[in-house]
Structure 1
Amino acid sequence: MCKTKKSTQAIEPRSPLKPRPSKSFSSDPLSGNCSTTGGNNSSYGNFSKSSTSSSVASLKSLRSSLPENPVIYDTSEISSSTNNFLNHRLSSSTASSSWRCTLRGKDAVVFQRKSRTPIDLPDLQQSLSLISRSHHSSLIKLLGASLSGSYVYLVYEFVAGASLADCLRNPNNPSYTVLSTWLSRLQIATDLAHGLDYIHRCSGLGSGLVHNHIKSSSIIVTEATLNAKICHFGTAELCGESRARSKKVEGTRGYMAPEFQVSGVVTQKCDVYAFGVVILELVSGEEPLKYKMEVEDGGYKRVSVIETAREAVKSVGGVRRWVDRRLKDSFPMEVAEKMVQVALECVEDDPERRPDMGRVAGLVSKLFLESQKWAENIGLPTDISVSLAAR
């Protein structure tokens, strides 16, 4: 059985249950004493009705969170909902474009991607039915898909929030970040670790899946709760990326594992590498890769967050100076050093030396608990809600 954040097990009684006389409970709220009386009682009836109403509400909440049957949309339906793809685009790149729309009464986001391998409607439906069995609180729900020629349209639920990249590097106010506490960043790391571990080990396909799009711009930080949700779950499988064997490498600079850049073959260890880069972003606040102008000769120097992290762990106090200054030195030093070490293990050049996500999720969860204990000891609030509104 796959272990997720919430799981339930039914336990069969060892011996048959015998009928018992009905009882009602009365209590003295001042003394705290309870007594039982036989027969039916109005207080018991009220309790029963209240309990039933609560159970119905809980079942409705549970039903809404469970994965639904996947929908194969007609292309005309998607075209109509996006105003023939003329609506304002949420994102656009050489690999994909996306639009927010309403489909069958649901607030959704449609992604258009080109399939890397030939795919027909029966294949799409089969893969979609397998992927739709998966469900995790850190994954954005896949509602359905559509096929038009070599293009695949993937429909996901809309989640209010902002990308992790924008939360860390506000283009309008670089000195401000909504993730201004160490605990908020460890919460993001924990959500991501467990979500990616679920994709690798517990998703609909028996052998697990690869994600192939782990990066800070593909992670949504939800408004108010500051939890992380991973976008594009299922894209690699539905668009043929996990099966493609091509010398043409498509990916985002700074997140691509060395072996992927050589072979173009995506594996779970490639996801681990990208996850490590995201963790280094979280801790430092820096981009994975950038170019800085040299004052002496006017040229540009390539700066990698991986390289700066490796340099930081070599010197005494190096990690403290390397951590995002907007945290104002308010973080547990030992936990920060361990977190950087976990991330550096994930970005080892040799994929065989990288840990699997199960081990990583366990380590990150332990560091999160240590951070919570640190925050409680110094009197910091551990439950914070914020707004992602523009500043």
Structure 2
Amino acid sequence: MFASTINAQFPAANCGSTGNFTANSTYQTTLTTLVSSISTTNSSSLSYGFFNASAAISGASQTLYLFGLCRSDLNTETCRACLDVLASDMRRLCPLQKEALLYSGNCIIRYSDASFFGEVVLQPDYVAGTGDDVNVSSADTYDAARRKLLNGLSAEAARGGSLRKYASGNESAGPDMVYALVQCTPDLTEQQCSECLALVAQEIRYCCLRYSGGRYMVPSCLILYGNNRFFDPVSGPLPPPPPPPSQDGDAMPSPPVGKSNSTRTVIIVVITSISALLVISIVILLLNVKRKKKQPRESVEGEVVDEISTAESLQFDFSIIRAATDNFSDSRKLGQGGFGVVYMGQLSNGQKIAVKRLSQNSSQGEVEFKNEFMLLAKLQHRNLVRLLGFCLEGVEQLLIYEFVPNSSLDQFIFDPLKRTNLNWDMRHKIIMGIARGMLYLHEDSRLRIIHRDLKASNVLLDSEMNPKISDFGMARLFELDQTRAKTNRIVGTYGYMAPEYAMHGTFSIKSDVFSFGVLVLEIVSGQRNTLFRMGDDTEVLISYIWKNWKEGSLSNIIDPSITSGSSIEIARCIHIGLLCVQDNMISRPTMASVLLMLNSDSVTLQVPSRPAFYIHSSVESDMPSMQDYNLRVSEVKESRSNANQFSKNEASMTELYPR
């Protein structure tokens, strides 16, 4: 075996949170029997790198499930030994837990009294990198080669059969070489395997951009890569599938011999004629389908409703949501906007949810509902708020989300008391998470999404202060090769809008980058991107930061409540924020470049030019300090020349579902 180049601490144990069983109970006896069967089984599946078993728990209406997965380049005995060692660690580290999952360098073992076969499970995960920095000739070339390699290997692994979904290989990265292996649990379908590996491949970029090797393992799939070969060839090809059975269960008999040439000719002619008719019928059917697709539907709204009606698995019964929210009690209200009200709810199983109840007299809210559902239903990322389902009942339209307990980012960074709890490490973590979520929307999801309303109030914080981007009611869907679009209806929040969008309606991934830059500057400074008074002067945040950055007065920019943290890292974030708010969208980086700059101190940053909406501080105003004011579009157009009119922005706008 090749020695692994991945540095990691194993075993990594996750003992679950569903409770404990009693020592010497039938639960423990059943589990012990299942675990012992790893050493005694003669199952051929071990030669393909996996083991699974289940058993009913005596005296209880429960079944216990056990699953083991080895790297497919291990032989049978090495796999068995790895699982035996991990099973021993499991008994030691999770002695009485009702479920557990353990990772090692070469295998995974898992048990639970709830079936997990045939499901894509992404948590808990295990992440590790190797080396201090990327020790390759070109980090960009290496990253491009790694992405190309993982894409090819993921497709190959997903096509594997029910015994093995695995692929390994290498790709040239200039003078360097990148090696990788990918693997799914074989109980997944081809589509499930593809989705799992795509999500892991996207996540591994964030953990390990600064390393030449990395490991990302989740219960349903794993990816390993490095610049040295660390895997062996697999033990051999999968066995060929058996011949299709006949109606009586036997194999299909061989064709009869001794028939005359004329009979054989008749058979050939008949079969050929039937085949030709089938081909013609299929062609006609496809043409009709294509013609129907080209015909316009009755309305965009009707089209979306048709799609929603097919997603039965995501539809909640209205009575369940009404009960969960105490009949939409005011005491459960989390917030309110132009779309309606958001309530906190709790389902009968104890799960907390957030329910967005659209206003019944809001036509814009109806459009937002359809837009947000159809987008979020197709997206899955740890830094996007997770959509659990929807409800349509008469005039009621509800979106059901995971409950995110710490409210939105603006409730922290702009609150004089709460922002003292946000140290620099926590703020940097939030910036990184938002960047990852935006990169997923722009490049790594199956769609290309332009959010168009990224702001502090649309970033939610979970119990561990991980950011989750929310509110996709104004988002637009792009084709994968589309770079920009134009609209006559400007939507979003002034102050976060890029100049080309605010003035001309042109939007792209670079307009989202502008919003991200504004958000970064707000997080660092603790100030809203609005008109506020600083001493005797009236300032706009971007202008104020630009002026102080040019003068080298970074202490004037940084939120005074940040009392610790890397000054170099803080200054770098300010620099990156200014690059994102450049006037010319071509000068702004992509989110991929932003994440690379945030991850690696070795990447040289360009010197920014004067940012968009730069306003001199000679503006006279009677406004009190720190009022929440933003530029109107008409005033944005004049801001560079006279910059003397501002107006309060009360609400955002929206438009129809992406075309």
SS at match of 1:303: strand
| Alpha-carbon distance, 1:103 to partner | 4.8
Equivalent of residue 170 in structure 1, options 412, 415, 421: 415
RMSD, aligned α-carbons: 4.6
Q: Does 1:363 align with 2:597?
A: yes
1:91 corresponds in structure 2 to 335
SS at match of 1:323: coil
Aligned-partner Cα distance in 2 for 1:271–1:150: 33
| Alpha-carbon distance, 1:339 to partner | 1.5
**Matched residue type, 1:184:** M
Aligned-partner Cα distance in 2 for 1:294–1:148: 55
**Matched residue type, 1:320:** S
Give 1:1-391 correspondences, 5 Å limit.
Answer: 12-13=72-73, 17=75, 53-54=100-101, 55-56=109-110, 63=121, 65=123, 71-73=314-316, 78-79=321-322, 81-88=324-331, 89-103=333-347, 105=349, 106-112=351-357, 116=364, 124=370, 128=373, 131-147=376-392, 153-170=398-415, 173=417, 177-179=420-422, 181-205=423-447, 208-223=448-463, 225-232=464-471, 234-237=472-475, 247-264=488-505, 266-292=507-533, 303-316=539-552, 318-328=553-563, 330-366=564-600
Residues 210 and 267 in structure 1, CA contact (< 8 A), matched pair in contact too: yes
Residues 453 and 475 in structure 2, CA contact (< 8 A), matched pair in contact too: no
| Alpha-carbon distance, 1:166 to partner | 2.0
**Matched residue type, 2:592:** G
| Alpha-carbon distance, 1:11 to partner | 6.3
| Alpha-carbon distance, 1:92 to partner | 1.4
Residues 219-255 of structure 1 deviation map (CA, whole Å, 9 limit, x = unaligned): 22334x33222223x4335999xx9976443322321
Residues 452 and 475 in structure 2, CA contact (< 8 A), matched pair in contact too: no
Aligned-partner Cα distance in 2 for 1:159–1:321: 33
CA pair 11-314 structure 1, distance change in 2 beyond 3 A: same
SS at match of 1:213: coil
Identity of aligned residues (%): 24
CA pair 76-46 structure 1, distance change in 2 beyond 3 A: closer
| Alpha-carbon distance, 1:91 to partner | 1.2
Residues 388 and 402 in structure 2, CA contact (< 8 A), matched pair in contact too: yes
Aligned-partner Cα distance in 2 for 1:120–1:165: 22
Q: Which runs of 5+ in 1 are unaligned?
A: 1-8, 26-40, 296-300, 370-391
- Structure 1 or 2, whichever has the larger Rg, is 2
SS at match of 1:256: coil
**Greater relative contact order structure (CA < 8 Å, 6+ sep):** 1
Task: Count matched residues.
Answer: 324
2:16 corresponds in structure 1 to none
Aligned-partner Cα distance in 2 for 1:110–1:285: 29
CA pair 244-192 structure 1, distance change in 2 beyond 3 A: same
Q: Which runs of 5+ in 2 are unaligned?
A: 1-68, 102-108, 124-195, 200-310, 479-483, 604-659
SS at match of 1:250: coil
Aligned-partner Cα distance in 2 for 1:291–1:21: 65
Residues 59-114 of structure 1 deviation map (CA, whole Å, 9 limit, x = unaligned): 96973759999613455654554455443421112344311123564311122455
**Matched residue type, 1:259:** E
**TM-score under structure 2 normalisation?**
0.42
Aligned-partner Cα distance in 2 for 1:72–1:239: 23
CA pair 194-115 structure 1, distance change in 2 beyond 3 A: farther
SS at match of 2:428: helix
**Matched residue type, 2:542:** I
